Amino acid sequence: MDLQGVWPVQAEWVSRAVAALPAAGSEPELAAAVARAAAEALGWRAAGVRRAGRTEWLARFPEGAEVRGEVNLPLAGGLELAADGAGDAEGLALLGAVAGKLLEAAQERARLAQRAERAERRAREAVERYRSQTERLAALRGELSEAQQRQLLLSERNRIAQDLHDRAAQTAYLVALKLDWLLGDLPPADPLREELERLRGLAAEAAAQTREAIFALRAPELSEGGLHGGLRRLLREAERDGFTTRLTVAGRPRALPAEVEDALFKVGQEALTNARKHSGGSAVMVALRYEPAAVTLVVQDNGAGIKNRTDIEKPGRFGVRGMRERVARLGGRLELVDGDEGGLLVRASVPLKGVDTHAHPCPDRGRP
């Protein structure tokens, strides 16, 4: 600042006061330096810096002194310099002008620092989001890989089970059948009878072991309790949604081929899911009926039923296409009709060709 024309001693005081101000200080540091310079270099009894219209001080000198504000000068950024006593008024004005410029620079630095801090915080948050999303993507890839592996494993298990049924089980069945024919033609005292009966026993044992292997390869949902157990679990899920449920079994329950149980379970699962989500009803009933040459699954709810058959037959609607394909592959038939007492009735009937029809105890018969 040009101090020409100012009295030498006064100029020295002002120069000393301006030199005491930090060129790159913060707003509080500058406020403290201005108050100190006004008192020590310019002879004011007390000085302070505060925000205009406020009573609290950013800085005072001497510290804690009472400053009444006998002289007030506006500074930059809504601040004011107040001084009491009989100090150098012109020097105070010069000090205020210089301090105002320095305070403007300090405030701008503070604003830039805040922006930089916000930008840094946003950058950290973006990095954290990226890291989190990367970890989630990796987890999803892992889950997808596991799901694909499970699907491949299940497909392979079903393929092996189907191959066992079509080849090993059927071969054992035919061997036992031919041995029965041979034994029927032999006289009681024929020396071959004992050996043929032993072979027939081995064939029956091989057929039983093959069936056990097929059941062990069934879908996971049927691994405990077979088809009846799987359907009961589906009904318990419906009960958790507030539905009243019932499972009934008619006829003579017996072991079914794995592919028949899998298909009927999937049909029941799809029908029950649709009843829970779309029927608007409060109850659902599942019935299994065993006949000598077929098995039938019926799922019926007490909801709205079929309002528009065109809609229900649309591809993908209610999973009808998937249910039809599963049943058709086994030579069966799927029907969707209105129930006698309302609601939707899904009926899947599958023929049993060459299936072991020996009955076995079933604790689920007639049980809800």
Give mean pLDDT in consecutive 10-residue pieces for the chain, a chain of 368 residues: 44 64 76 85 88 88 88 85 87 81 77 80 80 77 63 66 68 78 78 78 77 62 70 88 90 82 87 83 90 92 73 56 84 86 87 54 37
Q: Which two tokens stand for residue 246?
A: 């019932």
pLDDT the model gives residue 291: 92
pLDDT the model gives residue 1: 42
Give 184's DSSP letter. Answer: H
Q: Which two tokens stand for residue 280?
A: 């608007």
Phi, psi of 339 (to 5 degrees): -70, 160
Phi, psi of 260 (to 5 degrees): -70, -45
Query: Rounded to two decimals, what is the model's pTM?
Result: 0.41
Q: Among 291, 279, 252, 280, which residue's Cα sits nearest to residue 345?
A: 279
All structural domains of the chain with their residue ranges: 8-113, 150-212, 224-351
What distance in Å separates the CA atoms of residue 329 and residue 348, rounded to the nearest whole number? 12
pLDDT the model gives residue 288: 92
CA distances from 163 to 171, 205, 210, 262, 355 (A): 11, 18, 11, 15, 15
pLDDT the model gives residue 347: 93
Q: Which amino acid is at 133?
A: Q
pLDDT the model gives residue 332: 92
Q: Which amino acid is at 232?
A: R
What distance in Å separates the CA atoms of residue 287 and residue 349, rounded to the nearest whole number? 12
Phi, psi of 35 (to 5 degrees): -60, -40
Matching CATH number, 224-351, of 3.30.565.10, 3.40.630.10, 3.40.718.10, 3.40.640.10: 3.30.565.10
Q: Which amino acid is at 324?
A: R
pLDDT the model gives residue 367: 37
pLDDT the model gives residue 144: 59
| DSSP three-state, residue 169 | helix
